[in-house]
């Protein structure tokens, strides 16, 4: 499960974090914090949407997310999404490549 939360959202970050923590008891969870973005993530739409697409494609393919920033074990579920994430080059995938 992926939770993406904008730091300027009026919906509480504490609520988003608590939801992710509860969900972690039953499934794998990644939570990304997007700086300079509100509830709809429009301030960083390209980065937020790219992260969601990467997570979805990797999950459907049965891979661990390859481009998402690694989670910091000392601050779980509070991973910042890097500015310019959408423009980062793709890393090589460990599974067999799809059609070109």
Question: Is the distance from CB of 47 to CB of 81 less than 8 angstroms?
Answer: yes
Q: What is the mean pLDDT of residues 91-98?
A: 44
Q: What is the mean pLDDT of residues 40-69?
A: 91
Residue 91: predicted pLDDT? 55
Residues facing 63 on adjacent strands: none
Residue 62: predicted pLDDT? 93
What is the share, in percent, of the chain residues with pLDDT greater than 70? 88
| DSSP output for 34-70 | ETT--TT-GGGHHHHHHHHHHHHHHHHTTPPPSSSPP
pLDDT tens digits along 55-74: 999 999 999 888 888 887 78
Q: With 70 as the cut, is the pLDDT of residue 97 above it?
A: no
* Mean of the per-residue pLDDT values of the chain: 84
């Amino acid at each position: 499960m992926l939770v993406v939360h904008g730091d300027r959202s009026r919906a509480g970050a504490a609520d988003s974090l608590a939801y992710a923590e509860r969900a972690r008891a039953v499934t794998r969870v990644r939570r990304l914090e997007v700086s300079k973005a509100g509830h709809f993530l429009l301030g960083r739409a390209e980065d937020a949407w790219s992260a969601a697409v990467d997570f979805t494609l990797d999950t459907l393919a049965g891979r661990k997310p390859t481009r998402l920033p690694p989670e910091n074990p000392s601050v779980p579920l509070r991973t910042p999404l890097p500015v310019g994430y959408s423009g980062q080059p793709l890393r090589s995938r460990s599974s067999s490549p799809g059609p070109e």
